[in-house]
Structures are given as C-alpha cells and as structure tokens.
Amino acid sequence: MKTAIRMFSLCLLLYINTVTVYSQTDNELPAPRFKYGIATLSGKITGDIPDSMKTVSLDLLLNKPFFDYTINQIPVKEDGTFTFSTPVFAVGSCVIRSSVFEGNVYIIPGEETRLEINFDKNGAKQIITSNSLNLTAADAMNIGLVFRDILSNNPANDNYSMPIEEYSKYVVDYTEKAMVKLQGYAELSANAKQILSYEIKTFLLHMLYLGYEDNMQMRYNYKYRDQAKDERVNFVPQKPSIEYYSILKHLDLNDSRYLYASYLQIAIGELLKNKVLNIPPIEGLTIDEWLVKAKEPLHIITGANPGFFCNVLIASMYAAQLDAMKPLSEIQKKDIDTYFTDKSFAEVLFSRDEEIVRMLNSQAGNKKLVKNETPAVAKEDIMNAIVAKYKGKVVVVDFWATWCGPCLAAMKRTEAIKSEYADKDVVFVYITNPSSVRKTWEEKIPQIGGEHFYLTDETWDYILEQYDFSGIPTYLVFDKEGKLKRKSVSFMGVEKMREWIEELF
C-alpha cells in the first residue's frame, strides 16, 4: 500500500490542454547544496480561465529528505496569486495537483521558485517555471509521465526459480536499459533526465534490488494464477545471502544527487528493514557505536567509504524517531552535533526536534483519548456496533495507519476542525489494523486524541470490501442516526470536511 501511495506522487495524470512553455537554457544538474532553510513556491494564475478549471487552491504533495512526505493545500487568492513556504534541507520535490496544473516542481532553500499559468482566450495555457535548477515547464508536466512510461508495460514473467546470480544480472541489465530509454525522451531537458535517473534508480532499489523474494513469489503466483490457492504447492523463495547485496554498489548511492529523488526515503526505509543486511537501529547507541555495528552492511552497500549515504542513513533514523513523536535526548543531540561536520544535517534534525517538543507541550492534557476494545460481534456487524456507540452524534471515521504519511499529514490539517467541534455533537473515530505495529500505535495515538479502534486483519479486510475502498486515508461520515452520508477515499480537505459535518446538524 505504501508503494501505491508513493506512486501517486510520481505517476501524474495525462495532460490534455494545449500548452505553450517558456524555459531557461539547460545546464548540468548541480549537486544539491547541503543547506537548511526556507524554500518558497509562488506564482499566479491569470487570463481567461475556463469555468471548469477555476480553483481556490492547489494540492501539493511535498517530499523532503529524511522525513515522510506531507500533503499541503495552497490557497489561491482572488487575484490568482499563491505562495507556499516551508523549511527544506537541500531540495524539496513537489507534486502539484489541481484543475489548472498538474506536475512536478522542485523547491530549494533560500530560493523562490516561480510557477506562472496564463490562459489565452481559447483556453490554451502558457506556463513559465523558474529557479536555479533550470527545469522547463515541459519538464514539470512530463517527469511523472515519463517515469510511468519507462517502468510500465513490462512483459509478465513466470520464471519463479531464477537463480540469484542470474537475477543479479537481470536487475543490473534492467537498470541500464531504463537509463538508455530515458535518454530518448526529447520532451525532457538534460537536467530533468538526470533527476529522473535518480528517481528511477531509487524506485528500482526498492522494487528489484531489495525485492528478490517478493518478485519470485509474484512470478510463482502469476504462473499458477488459474490454480486455486489451496491447490498450489507451498512455494518459499530462496533467501539471498548478504553477499548478493553487493549489487547495490552498482547504484553508487554515495552520489548526493539522490536527494532529488522523491522515492529516496521509501527506499531507505526498506533498506533499514532488510533482515539480511540487518542494519542496526540507532536508538540506544552512540553514532560511533552504530558505525561499528553497521560496518559490514555499509561496506556491502557502498564499498569502503560510506560517506554521504551513511550520513543520510543516520539522519533518516533520527528523523524516524522524531516522526514517531519521540524527541531527541540530550546525549543524542550532543552526538549529532559532534558527528556531522556539515552542520546543516544537525540543523534540520534540531529544528524538527524543537517542533516536536512544542507540539507535545501544547497537546499535553488537551486531547481526550479513548482506546476502545473491538465490539464482540461478528465482523459483518462491526461498523454498525462502532457507530452505534455514538448515536446522537455525527461520526467521522478515519481509516489510517501509523506508517501512512498522507494519513498523518491529514490529521495535522484537521487539528483546527477538531478543536472547533470539541464541545459539539461530533466524534472523530480512528480505525487501524496490525499493519500498524501495536507499540507504535499506542505511542502515537495520545498525540491524535479521539476514539481509537485496533481491528484484526480479517475484520479490516471485510470492512474495506463492505465499503468498497482499498487505500488510506479513507473517511466515512455518519449522521446522528448512524446512517452513512459521505465517503472520501483520500483526504477531502478541511473545508469539505467542515461542510459535510455542518450539513448533518
């Protein structure tokens, strides 16, 4: 599911309208500067905008190094101007979705990135983009489409017994062919092709390089797709040895240009979870102690000098701790300050730590939390039993998971609306399943507040089928009599949520 959600940020919808683009001259893609600061995206929508395309906001999915991505809504003023500013380390990869523009832009600390959208009298768009990366408007609109084109339409493969040595050659060959194919897209500038090369390689790192067992299992399932599951042999793919992962050196992960890749954090997360590489968690260790324990996997992944990639791993592990609402200890802060010679790494972690501490202090004692037992009824009656518990109140049900970035981002955006209805007949119910590690769930829910349920996989799957959805976050809104009135797969936005609640009073 996480892969599907992240793919949303890369595989943009097809572009239909006629567009004229104005661009700057291509330059060699610069390595990102290790700088932490405010990055700004601003622009203006002007001209004869068709009624069907007028909008009051832009939806922006932001990927920042080390941390999970966030979803932001940028208001568009009456005069068509919009501005969005956020702290970023090195570079922020943004996906914008709206009726007037859909595409990828990159924002840089200390810079203002401009996006100008003008409609002529025939409804055709003229788009101008600008910042120091020298990407074109055509780049912005086509990066996601090219990514999808390169990685889709692969023929089905049912060779589930491919030896690991052969698979290694297959993966390297697949990567090299993808890089060659990328060069054939004339609509992309040289800089965009380089950015996309890192995007593709981080995606393949997760899906192919780290996915031998999963790929063999999928091939087996495909070969026997017409056979009932209970008739299949219990197939167990071979487990790669740690030496297999020396294939990762082919990707040259010490190249700092990987910071341009929005998929980088997903790939790092999978590396850290890999049981064969067995990279130790940093929590409870000093950085020097961690480096000793991680020496073998780091050497396997990058060679003799882990360098930049080692720093990214360390920063990402501390960032994951902070995302779990666990502030840095004084020992950790001293260790971070001492270890990172480039202080921008420490700066981004310390800034996030201060933010987490402020959030914890402001939320302490203010949120009512109820951890509910699952009703003792058949799975077919679970939702009715949950909603009936709050009869006489509007019930907003949020299906989420602790690992789901869009879920957590939406929760932050709904803080104000929850406070607004705190003393009214509205209840916010949060439902998850064992894909959220229970310990992590128990640590996170005090910061969320509301009514919480932790369902079994069987019950969760039944509810997804019952209400016809498969992705999260998903929201169900019930009236005071317990009747389902609204449903949204993905966050509907604060204003729409408020509207749906108000119409039930």
In a domain, 299, yes or no: yes
Domain end marker among 320, 338, 360: 360
Q: Are residues 299 and 168 in the same domain?
A: yes
CB-side exposure of 482: number of CA atoms within 13 Å?
11
Q: Are residues 280 and 343 in the same domain?
A: yes
pLDDT of residue 348: 95
Q: Are residues 356 and 258 in the same domain?
A: yes
CATH number of the domain where residue 474 is located: 3.40.30.10
Q: Are residues 388 and 346 in the same domain?
A: no
Mean pLDDT for 478-501 is 92
Lowest mean pLDDT among 111-120, 284-293, 361-370: 361-370
**Tell me: the pLDDT tens digits for 312-326?**
999 999 998 887 778
pLDDT of residue 309: 93
Domain end marker among 315, 341, 360: 360
Closest CA to 400 of 371, 430, 438, 372: 430
* Length of the chain in terms of residues written: 505
CB of 451 closer than 8 Å to CB of 428: yes
Q: Are residues 425 and 346 in the same domain?
A: no
Q: Residue 153 — φ and ψ, nearest 5°?
A: 60, 35
In a domain, 134, yes or no: no
**Tell me: the pLDDT tens digits for 494-505?**
889 999 999 998
Q: Are residues 188 and 298 in the same domain?
A: yes
Q: Are residues 454 and 349 in the same domain?
A: no
Q: Are residues 356 and 410 in the same domain?
A: no
In a domain, 97, yes or no: no
Overall number of domains in the chain: 2
The residue ranges of DSSP E strands in 349-443, in sequence order, are 369-371, 394-399, 426-432
Cis status of the peptide bond prior to 406, with omega within 30 of 0: no
3-state SS, residue 172: helix
In a domain, 246, yes or no: yes
Whether residue 446 is predicted with pLDDT greater than 50 in this model: the reply is: yes
The band of 27, judged by pLDDT with boundaries at 50, 70 and 90, is low
Round to whole Å and give the CA distance between 19 and 28: 26
In a domain, 46, yes or no: no
Structural domain containing residue 428: 369-502
| 6 vs 500 pLDDT, higher one | 500
Average pLDDT, the chain: 87
